[in-house]
Every structure is written in C-alpha cells, then in structure tokens.
Chain A
C-alpha cells in the first residue's frame, strides 16, 4: 500500500514537471475554446459572450467548439482571480464591462484591466433610471431636486453591489445635477436581479439598472424610464423613446461598454487570430441582427484603440470614485 502510494506520487511529480507549455501557432485554433462569463447565467455578460460564441461558430469564422462556462461571484472579481492562473493560455476568452475597472478602483480586487489581454470592444449599453408607473416622478430632475433637500428621501435600488456600476452611474448623474453629500445618498444593492421586483412591489422608489434589463416591464407599461445615461438617443430599441439626462439639463452620461478579453500574456498568434475574427464578426448580418434584438449599440474598437479607451476610462472612473470618496 505504502509503496504504491509513494510510486504514484513520484509518477505524478514527474508528469507535472515534464509538461511543456508548447506553442502551437499553426492551424490555430485546433482545440476547444473555453469561454467564460464572469457572472451567473442570464445576465448581461452571459448574454454577450454567448451571443459572440454563437455568432462566431454559426458564421464559420471559428471552426472549433466554443462552450460557455459561468464563474460568478464578487461582481466579476472571482473570475478575474481565476483568470490569473490561466496566464499565457491561448484558448480562453471572457467578457467584461465597466465593473472590470470599478472593482479594482474601489478595492474589491487587487487585479485590474492590466491583468488581462483586451482584444476588442464590441457594444455599448446605457444605464436607465426607472420608476413604477404610478410614481410621482416624471423626470430625473425632480428626483435630484428631492435628493438635494434630503439625501435619504428617495430609496434607490440597483442590481450591482455598492461601489459598482449601477451605483456609480447614478452618482455620476447626481453629481452633475449638483447634489451635495453624495455619500448620504441611500443605495440599496439587491442580488439575483431582484431589484425590478422590489420596485414593482413598492419597496424602493427608483431603480438604477441597464436599459435593456427592464425592457419587458417598460413595454407593458408597469415601469417608466425617467432617463437614460446615453449621450444622445440611439435610433432604435427602447432607448429611442427615452429622454437622456442631457436632454433634461444634466450634463452627464455613462457608457456600459462591453468587450472581449483574453488571459494575461495571451500568445501573439492567438491575439492576432481573435482580433481578426472579432473584426470580421461585427460586420456579419447575424451580429447586426443580434444587436438589434438586444438593443445594443454597436461600438467596435480593435485592440490598440480599445486599450487606449480602457486607460482613459480608468482615469475617468478613478477621478469619479475619488470625488465620491470611494476609491481605495
């Protein structure tokens, strides 16, 4: 028994050491591409990476399988940690959006966008401030006026944790509207997208969320969107009929961009392949149609531009968080 275990352990050791990280540039990709959504199934990240995987395989741009796996937790921070152990892998793809920057800046995780390989920015969604159909509010400026008088008078809920996207997008607009004492503004984080139910049930007064997330309830008339965070109204989808903050005299916007990322130090041949494939994908009719149904504004940027964009966004987000006293 003892001898067997010892032999087995020795075999295990040798095998572990002898594994070379051999490069395989030719015929790439030849094996399964592991796609990860850093959230539970059904959310925005999940929807994006699944649509990308589906479009790439259906259009024949990628010939190997692209199964999608969910690794939820910590507003994306759990997967960001896991991604660090996938360094130099050529067959891992994931999706991120502004929380990638925010969870680093607010101290949730030590890893930042620099610990990934950005490949391309694909789309932009916008934030929305939503109320019940029988709410007394008809514009976002009325909400801000009430908050100016008493910061805790409006109960604001969202689906991301405090200090992350839903929270920050509201505070950015509130700041531009001249609200003082941003720290006193009550933001109540709900889990598992329970925010909409809490709003419908009258437990909160306003929900800050993604424009696409409440489409069904807005179309049915149960909820009303007071304002979107788009710079200008998009010409299709639900955003077309929603006034922007700028239209209502608040000089602020918030872009919920989404992009595709690889693991840190992804090999060059893989980076080249995916930049090329994603660039071709955004021109396909299948992708156009998917964006149309989901209400996504196309906003493609190739790696160099995307990296510049990320650096600029990171600085901007850092300034906002510092002004709000939330930066770590």
Chain B
C-alpha cells in the first residue's frame, strides 16, 4: 500500500506539470463535447485523437485519451437529461429520471447532481484503482464463458423484472432485443444469420443505432403532437446550476452504492458502461422505499447510473493497464495507440514505464476536479437549449440523429435501420413495452449467446459448467432473487390493500 502511494506521488509529479494539466483539460473537454453528440462515444473520441497523440508522447497521449474517456461519461448525460436522447449507451439510464426532472422544470438540479455524481463516482474509482487494480484484474479473470452467460442473464432479467406489473411486457422487450442481437455473422460457426442477403447486416445491428432510433427519433415523432399546441411553452427562465439539500440526502447513498458496482462491471472485459449504469439503476429502484417515483423524476435514479458509468470507465482501464487486454471498445483503441507509440501494455508497464502508468492515474484525479469545475458553467449554457423553440429544436434533433448514425458505421444502410427503430419506438410507447430490457438485450445479447455456447463447448455439452463454481451459484441466486423480489413486493402490497379494504 505504501508502495502504491509512493508511486502515485511520482505520478502526480508527472501529471502536475503545466503541459500535462493542459492535456488533461483538453481531453476532458473534448470528451465532454463528444459524449454529448448522439452516436459519438468515447471510442470515437479516442480514435479521433489518435493522429494527434503521435506528437504528444506516451504520457501526454495516455493522459489525454483517459480524459476523453471519463469526459465522455460526464458529457453523455447532458442530452439524456435535456432532450431525452442519450449521447451513448452508458447514458441511457440517465434518461429515465433525468428527463422527467427537466419536464418538471428541474433541469438545473438534474445537471448539477449528475455532474457531482459523476465526480464522486470517478474519484472513488480512482482511489480503488490505485490500491486494488492488480487483485481486481486477477479476480476478473475468473470470469469464463459460463460466468459471463449468467452475469448477462442476471443483468437482463433484473432489468426486465424491474417493471413489476409489466413484467411480461419487459420480457417481451428483452427477447426482442436478444433476437436483434443474433443478426449477422456468427463468430463460432461462420454462418450468416437473419441477414436476408444484405451483406451490410453481416456485422450485426449496432445497438447505438437502436438507441438513437428509439429515443431520438421516437421523441421527435412524439413531439409532433405537442409542438402545435399553442399553450406549449419552452423554458425561458433559468436558475443556477445547483441542487437542494433534499436532493443530496437522497442521492449520496445511491452514489456510494452505485460506484463499487460500476467499477467492478467496468473491470470485467466485455461488460461495459451501459450494463453498469442500468444495473445501478435497477439496484437503486429495488432498494428504494418509494419505487413508484422512479421514472417520474426521482433524483437518486439519476445519481446512481451517473456515478456507475464514470466508475466503470475507470474500471475498464484495469485490464488494459495490468494485463494488456482491452476491456472495452475504447480501451482497445487506447491499446492500439500505446502500441503505435512503441509501448507495450501489460504487466510490465507499471515497472518499465511507471511515469506513463502512474502519470495517467494521477491525472485522472486532477481531471475529475477540472471537469467538475468546467461542467457547472457549461451546464448553465447548455440548459438554455431548452429555450430554443420546439419547432426548430426537434427537426435539428433528427439531423443530429442521422449524422450520429453515419458516424458510427459510415453506411447509409443504417439510415433505414434507424428509421425502422424510430417506428418501433412509437409502437413501444403505445404498447407500454419498457425500452431498457430491449436495449440491454441488444447490447449484451451477442456476448451472452456466444458465452453460452462457448461454455457448452468447453464442458463438452454438460450443463454442470453453469453451476460448478462459486461465482455461478451467486449469480444464479441473484437472478432468482431479482424476479422474486418485485413479485413478493406486489403480493405484499395486494395483501395490505386487501386488509385495508
């Protein structure tokens, strides 16, 4: 532990030089902006930076790229809160309660609490990174295909079951999402599935396009009803970006619960920020004493996913730094950048180039402070987007949705998929099918399926592999609990109502 502190001290000496503070700020600001734009997430942000990093040197490059990563987590929620259109997957859960807060005229409080939650989540995760990165990495290796299958299943079932009385609809959404995830080339056999001869579909449907379609297009289509209403007014008066004491009292326990969860999920290769944020949201809702307020502007429902996705972005750096294995799309790009700079990520990075590894970790402490201070004034500017007349704003959201889609895959074929999911979004809204199980299904479906089949290949077809390790048993228990808990809650409520009557 003392050794870690000594190394961290060395890292701060590197990170606190003026040029590196500049890189930290630049990365953070760029990440925030990129995170706000639909379709552009941290992976694109880091890729955009790649040519620049050649000139920065290894330390500057790592500091800037890490800044883009957690900066994007700060920025991703802005559009979720203000426009109900998430900037990327990790920001979906921030729509659920962030946008209702805006509709209630509490956009300022929502922006403030999300920045503070992001900050705290990031800071705690940084501390964890300093002290437990290596044991964490070793533990994450225990997750084989069977463990991944059950982890994904747990996240899915918990999300689908969250909707309580609409549980059946939640599962319909979940299965539909899983079905979409089966489109494309199957990596285990090389067979094309459900592509109907469209070669562009071979790579599968990018889940970001599903998100932009359902949320952004869906939101605009819905708005056609309200924009013609003469009594419909945009917000014209704006307060300070701050939250109330009551907000804070409800948020801090949520932040403290969500952070370790996000950090852990982030450290598992292949899981990622979307899953972390949704699981934190589920967790908060099931623990809450007033779950009925969730989805209607409960502040802790915003704080939890915001803390979790920032913590997960820190956790995701662990497998890359300690093992040289990319844990997410973004860290894969960072890994490539390290290689081009002539560095070898892996266990020896900490001993061979401590100034790079520890300089980056130290810069993340500084970067979180910088981002918190930048985000508050930036939020007070951003919130004014609500004063743009709806009849101008909503067509522009359509424009942003299409450019975001093009930025993901560079393919016009995806425009048709986007439009299709806009239509599906309207249908989901009418039928009250919850969107989050569908989207999570689309995101983790492919990993879950391949893990499931990989596990059976490893066990020569024996199902025992799914209950053969302590981790699998814990995950099965959690999955069963996540279905039983809301059902039991319903039963108790009914019994009480019956007694009262």
Report which A residues bind B (CB closer than 8 A): 40-43, 46-47, 50-51, 54, 67-75, 77-78, 81-82, 106-109, 152, 155, 161-164, 186, 188-194, 196-198, 200-204, 215-217, 219-220, 222, 293-294
- In the complex, A217→B348 CA distance in Å? 8
A51 touches B340 (CB 8 A): yes
B458 touches A203 (CB 8 A): yes
Q: Which residue of B lies closest to A222 (CB)?
A: B347
A-B contact pairs, 20 of them (CB 8 A): A42-B332, A43-B332, A43-B336, A54-B340, A68-B50, A71-B411, A73-B204, A74-B202, A81-B202, A82-B200, A108-B190, A190-B450, A192-B270, A194-B325, A197-B269, A198-B145, A200-B141, A202-B144, A217-B324, A220-B347
How many residue pairs between the two chains, A and B, have CB atoms under 8 Å in the bound complex?
156
Find chain B residues with CB under 8 A from A219 CB.
Answer: 344, 346, 348
A70 touches B47 (CB 8 A): yes
A77 touches B199 (CB 8 A): yes
- In the complex, A54→B51 CA distance in Å? 8
Find chain B residues with CB under 8 A from A41 CB.
Answer: 43, 46-47, 50, 329, 332-333, 336
Indicate if B286 sits at the interface (CB-CB under 8 A): no
Find chain A residues with CB under 8 A from B460 CB.
Answer: 152
Indicate if B31 sits at the interface (CB-CB under 8 A): no
- In the complex, A215→B339 CA distance in Å? 11
Indicate if B143 sits at the interface (CB-CB under 8 A): yes
- In the complex, A74→B186 CA distance in Å? 8
A78 touches B187 (CB 8 A): no
- In the complex, A68→B336 CA distance in Å? 13
B185 is contacted by which of A68, A69, A75, A201 (Cβ under 8 Å)? A75
- In the complex, A189→B449 CA distance in Å? 12
- In the complex, A238→B51 CA distance in Å? 27
B185 touches A73 (CB 8 A): yes
Indicate if B315 sits at the interface (CB-CB under 8 A): no
Q: Which residue of B lies closest to A200 (CB)?
A: B141
A188 touches B458 (CB 8 A): yes
B324 touches A216 (CB 8 A): yes
Find chain B residues with CB under 8 A from A188 CB.
Answer: 188, 454, 457-458
Find chain B residues with CB under 8 A from A74 CB.
Answer: 184-185, 202-203
B51 touches A67 (CB 8 A): yes
B346 touches A217 (CB 8 A): yes
- In the complex, A190→B326 CA distance in Å? 13
Task: Give the Cβ gap from A218 to chain B, nearest Cβ, in Å.
Answer: 9
Task: Give the Cβ gap from A58 to chain B, nearest Cβ, in Å.
Answer: 8
Q: Which residue of A lies closest to B342 (CB)?
A: A293
B325 touches A193 (CB 8 A): yes
Find chain B residues with CB under 8 A from A73 CB.
Answer: 184-185, 202-204
Indicate if B335 sits at the interface (CB-CB under 8 A): yes
- In the complex, A205→B450 CA distance in Å? 18
B457 touches A203 (CB 8 A): no
- In the complex, A160→B124 CA distance in Å? 37
Beyond contacts A68-B50, A155-B457, A197-B141: 13 other A-B pairs, Cβ-Cβ < 8 A, are A41-B332, A42-B326, A69-B410, A71-B409, A73-B185, A107-B190, A161-B187, A164-B190, A191-B270, A203-B144, A216-B324, A216-B346, A216-B349
A198 touches B187 (CB 8 A): no
Q: Which residue of A lies closest to B140 (CB)?
A: A197
Find chain A residues with CB under 8 A from B236 CB.
Answer: none
- In the complex, A74→B409 CA distance in Å? 13
Contacts A78-B199, A78-B203, A81-B202: A42 and B325 contacting too (C-beta < 8 A)?
A: no
A42 is contacted by which of B51, B270, B336, B409 (Cβ under 8 Å)? B336
Q: Which residue of A lies closest to B328 (CB)?
A: A192
Find chain B residues with CB under 8 A from A194 CB.
Answer: 269-270, 325
Indicate if B192 sits at the interface (CB-CB under 8 A): yes
Task: Give the Cβ gap from B411 to chain A, nearest Cβ, in Å.
Answer: 7
- In the complex, A132→B271 CA distance in Å? 24
A201 touches B144 (CB 8 A): yes
A162 touches B188 (CB 8 A): yes
Q: For the complex of A and B, list the 6 residue pairs with the smallest distance between their C-beta atoms, beginning with the closest.
A: A73-B203, A216-B346, A203-B144, A42-B336, A201-B141, A42-B332
Q: Which residue of B lies closest to A205 (CB)?
A: B458
B144 touches A198 (CB 8 A): yes
- In the complex, A46→B143 CA distance in Å? 28
B188 is contacted by which of A50, A72, A152, A189 (Cβ under 8 Å)? A189
B329 is contacted by which of A40, A46, A51, A82 (Cβ under 8 Å)? A40
B187 touches A82 (CB 8 A): no
- In the complex, A155→B50 CA distance in Å? 37
- In the complex, A189→B446 CA distance in Å? 13
B51 touches A71 (CB 8 A): no
- In the complex, A8→B458 CA distance in Å? 59
Task: Give the Cβ gap from B43 to chain A, nearest Cβ, in Å.
Answer: 7
- In the complex, A204→B144 CA distance in Å? 9
Contacts A152-B460, A220-B347, A222-B347: A162 and B47 contacting too (C-beta < 8 A)?
A: no
A192 touches B269 (CB 8 A): yes
Find chain A residues with CB under 8 A from B400 CB.
Answer: none
Task: Give the Cβ gap from B212 to chain A, nearest Cβ, in Å.
Answer: 18
- In the complex, A68→B47 CA distance in Å? 9
Considering only residues 178-195 of chain B, those with a C-beta below 8 Å from chain A are 184-190, 192
Indicate if B319 sits at the interface (CB-CB under 8 A): yes
Find chain A residues with CB under 8 A from B288 CB.
Answer: none
Task: Give the Cβ gap from B472 to chain A, nearest Cβ, in Å.
Answer: 13
Q: Which residue of A lies closest to B198 (CB)?
A: A81
- In the complex, A264→B362 CA distance in Å? 49
Q: Which residue of B lies closest to A192 (CB)?
A: B270
